[in-house]
Amino acid sequence: MSIVEYHLFIKTCIICFYLDSCLILSLFRDLNEYLQYIKRQCVQQLTAKYQLISIIWIYDDVSIFINNIKYLQSIMRQFISKNPATKQVLGEFKFLNDQELNHVIQQSKEGYQINKNSSFQIKSEKLLKLADLLNQNQEKYAKLISYEIGKPISQSMAEVKKSQNYCKYYAENINKYLQPQRVKTEAKNSYVQYSPIGTIYSISPFNFPFWLCFKPIIPMLAVGNAVIHRPSDSTGLCGLALQELFTSAGFDGNIFQNAFTTAQQLDQVMAHPQIQGVSFTGSTAAGSIIGATAGKYLKRSVLELGGSDPFCILQNANVELAVQLALKSRVANCGQVCFSAKRFIVHFQYYDIFKEKLVNALEKLKIGDPLLETTELGPMAREDLITNILNQIKKGVDGGAKIVYGGKRLKENENFMLPTVVEVDEQNVLAKEETFGPLFSLIKANSNDEILRIANNTSYGLGAVVVSNDKKEIEQFVNHLEAGMVFVNEIVKSDQRLPSGGIKGSGYGRECGEWGVQNFSNIKTVWIE
């Protein structure tokens, strides 16, 4: 235990009593900010040793009772890798203490100097080596992803392949994107130069443990930065595999480091002068804390956050195509995708037929072992995730939503969930909150104008799908949808050639393509007389 952790432990005076599966936590004293943070995070995971039914928080005169929480994240918690299909624990990894973390950051200084002074050719060769290693070990890495998060193996294979192609893309375009750009002025010579800025802290989510590591990090390394990568708490094995992979490709000498850090260490990381930015993909709640902390220390941040993406089926839509795209978007990775479609806003003339065809298709889905090639829908990645979406569905039903299909676990105490179709109005909680799971929230609209209004009636702005064969309809929606990405007659997806990111509560900054290298570059103006 580090000095900081010990001090925090003493100050909080946490007292745990096992009384019929209840835990009492008391005397938080002056750590109001820390307590509020824990409340917001809703105590994500326990070290898998305890099965708790209820928690009573006692803070001064305030008692808050939280029901049905099975996992409590302690100060000294660990990364836990668990197979969601079998609930078998695959590995446990200790968090870095503050001294160990500081050592990692200090080491990244050396990595930064190495990568900063490497030529485009050397960096390109390393990226090609990375792509080659991904290709050679595609099946191995895909199985690891499926074991750790329950993603069907065919989708895990596609994730590894996408990461491989991404590395090749930047290897082939690094010179074009980072060459000085001449600008004609009154000067004898004037140009814009792209230079690295230091070490970037990159925080990845659980749902795409390979792709969402590579997506922000490859441009960072290409421009010459060093990277400290923090994987999700539940994908520690993928984090270790990525460390081995980058090192084997030549990003050694501390250019790329995997780090099992705690949420409480964010301030320590961002305060360090070697750290010059942070990239985060995940929830809006966590992103707001990370962005605020980065701003506090005047460090750059790129945030790709949650979404409640509209799927707009317009007056001149192809319904068969709409059903295919809806399935493709929402079933992938068991609906655990930031920019999968969440709100299916359907023109009234197609509403009933779309609902019928969607339910018929869902009834035929193959749900089961993620390691089988025929599986289309695997388990949700963690127990807390399936508990959360089932609670959201209950709240939605309490608020007037009607379950058309599904709405429950496939079997009790398992992480497999029936895909669910619900009918809601635009004010229902299922149309307001981000829903992470195989949930289709259907909203009937009377006109295209109403579809557009409902689509924009959200605090999010990540992606949007438009299904239509009419050019005027398409133009209206492309021009007026409030989203960072609009896909017409196709699902929203990230493409290495195009910018990826959102607006409003879905974050800021862009990844991929030439935009990806600009986020953490010193875009330097040079004027020579």
Residues with a catalytic annotation lie at 304, 338
Backbone angles phi, psi at 528, to 5 degrees: -125, 125
How many other CB atoms are there within 10 angstroms of residue 381's CB atom? 27
* Alpha-carbon span 226 to 217, nearest angstrom: 9
Q: In what order do the strands lie in the sheet with 275-281?
A: 256-258, 226-230, 199-203, 275-281, 300-304, 507-508
Residue 51, judged by CB atoms within 10 A of its CB (0-12, 13-18, 19+), counts as exposed
* Alpha-carbon span 139 to 154, nearest angstrom: 10
Residue 273, judged by CB atoms within 10 A of its CB (0-12, 13-18, 19+), counts as exposed
Q: What is the largest CA-CA distance in the chain?
A: 80
Which alpha helices (DSSP H) does 193-315 contain, by range?
211-223, 236-248, 266-271, 284-296
Q: Which residues contact 151 (CB under 8 A, 6 or more apart)?
A: 145, 159, 333, 334, 370, 378, 381
Do 251 and 6 touch, CB atoms closer than 8 A? no
Terminal C-alpha separation, the chain: 58
Tell me, what DSSP letter sits at residue 458? S
Residue 402, judged by CB atoms within 10 A of its CB (0-12, 13-18, 19+), counts as exposed
Give CA separation, 88 vs 72, 81, 85, 291, 410, in Å. 18, 9, 8, 35, 19
Identify residue 514 by its one-letter amino acid code.
E
Give CA separation, 370 vs 142, 146, 157, in Å. 11, 6, 12
Do 463 and 486 touch, CB atoms closer than 8 A? yes
Do 341 and 309 touch, CB atoms closer than 8 A? yes
* Alpha-carbon span 468 to 475, nearest angstrom: 10
Q: Angle formed by the axes of helices 120-136 and 236-248, to 10°?
A: 130
- Identify which of 442, 408, 445, 449 has the alpha carbon closest to the alpha carbon of residue 428: 442
How open is the CA angle 376-379-381, to the nearest 5 degrees?
125
* Alpha-carbon span 184 to 204, nearest angstrom: 41
How many other CB atoms are there within 10 angstroms of residue 385's CB atom? 22
